[in-house]
Amino acid sequence: MKHSDDPRRTNAINRRAFLGTSLGALGLTLTAPGAKAGALRLLGGRRREGERTLVIIQLNGGNDVLSTLVPYADDEYHRVRKSTKIDHDTLFKVDDYRGFHPKLRKLSKRFAEGEIGVIQGAGYPGPNRSHFKSREIWHTADLRGRARGDGWAGRLCATKWPEESLPELSVHIGPSLPFSLHSATHPPVAFNTPDSYQWLGDEGAEGSLEMKRQDEEEERRPSSVLDHLRGVMSDARGSSERILEAIRRYETPVDFKGETFSQAMLTASALIHSGHGSRVISVTTGGFDTHAYQKGDHATALEKFDDGLDSFLRDVRRCEAGGRTLVVAFSEFGRRVQENGSGGTDHGKAGLMFVAGDPVRGGLYGKYPSLTDLDDKDLRFNVDFRDVYATATRWMGGDVEAVLDRPWAGLDYLS
């Protein structure tokens, strides 16, 4: 049974609150009339019929598996987790071994109704406990990290839509643009500057292109890459106002909380409803680097994730494009099995991933990592995250080998 919105709910977005709280928190400043927002108009929408949208969510900091999907029936869990242990009576039980953290109330309900998939033991060979290096590996889908070149989502855009000049083809909502969207030919749009949206190919691009153009004319040979980037630069000048106008006019009966992640997910939903053609949307949420005071801080981070993702899933279901939207959520690693001396846990290895949206067949994927058969005191991975990416890439119509450098088989989490 699918969730449905209560038709009695009329919590339309208050424009001032939405612009001030949501976009202000995301680094955007807009000037808008004081009247209540009207119905959304499609402002030069570029969506092609039947195209799909991938939403990538990063849980920044390293999410603790043992406090997210809790192995409450495992004696070793009770032995190694004293201060961070979650009371089994508060869990949303999945089976007689594991249960969701009490702050994942909404997502656990969706899981029970077959709408959420959880990939257990997600990771990669030779895991790295550095935030920066491990993120590079997840963002590029390559053990070399940035030495690989573009990010995996950037490669998806470049290979799936090689001639597309739409600047908002890939969008990041929030600060700290993830490298996963990096592309030499398809720069992403980011809502992360103090005064407006930003196309991440604009800084210094005009001058460098002009020099290359002169070289090109001297050598009298065409360049498809330069032609493409010139088209993107031209379109970027008009795309800012189109996107901001769509967000400014968007209203919904779904209640999104004022917290930054929920408002970012509201912006993502507005983009999908708008029909502007954003195919890859990225959002991050933090609070998962729980070296100390983990029990309270981790609960807060999970609650924000629960609220934001649940509201997003309810909202996108109101439009036809929502049925063609896939969410993939990950963290750069899990955390150590043994607690530290500060009521927290340090950087570990294997983690878990969430997949959500109408295309998903809910359930557990992979095997819950052993708490005794460890990899240098860390959980061992049993699902390579690139198989999760491969399924998403294939679903988007991309070439898996071109995007991920080899024909990964994928993981069967889609219906």
Q: What is the CATH number of the domain that holds 139?
A: 3.40.720
How many residues are given for the chain? 415
Q: What is the CA radius of gyration of the chain?
A: 22
Looking at residue 93, its pLDDT comes to 98
In a domain, 256, yes or no: yes
Of 278, 268, 349, 343, the C-alpha closest to 312 is 268
Record the pTM.
0.82
Query: How far are the Cα atoms of 173, 174, 235, 262 from residue 26, in angstroms, in the given order?
Result: 7, 5, 23, 11
In a domain, 313, yes or no: yes
In a domain, 185, yes or no: yes
331-342 burial, b if ≥16 CB within 10 A, otherwise e? bbbbbbbebbee
In a domain, 43, yes or no: no
160-188 burial, b if ≥16 CB within 10 A, otherwise e? bbeebbbbbbbbbbbeebbbbbbbebbbb
Q: Which pair of tokens denotes residue 233?
A: 């630069």
Give the dihedral sign, CA 406/409/412/415. Answer: positive
Neighbours of 49 (CB within 10 A): 5
In a domain, 18, yes or no: no
**Do residues 203 and 171 lie in contact, with contact meaning Cβ atoms separated by under 8 Å?**
no
Complete DSSP assignment for 362-398: -EEES-PPPSSS-BTTBPPP-EEHHHHHHHHHHHTT-
In a domain, 391, yes or no: yes
Domain that holds residue 207: 53-404
Looking at residue 167, its pLDDT comes to 80
In a domain, 2, yes or no: no
Looking at residue 301, its pLDDT comes to 98
pLDDT digits (tens, 9 = 90+) for 114-128: 999 999 999 999 999
Three-class SS of residue 170? strand
- Please tell me the number of Cα atoms within 13 Å of 1 on its side-chain side: 5
pLDDT digits (tens, 9 = 90+) for 226-249: 555 555 554 555 566 777 777 778
Domain count, the chain: 1
Contacts of 112 (CB under 8 A, 6+ apart): 92
pLDDT reading at 320 higher than 90: yes
Of 18-27, 66-75, 217-226, 301-310, which range is least confident?
Answer: 18-27
pLDDT reading at 180 higher than 50: yes
In a domain, 23, yes or no: no
**Do residues 277 and 64 lie in contact, with contact meaning Cβ atoms separated by under 8 Å?**
no
Alpha carbon distance 32, 19 (integer Å): 9
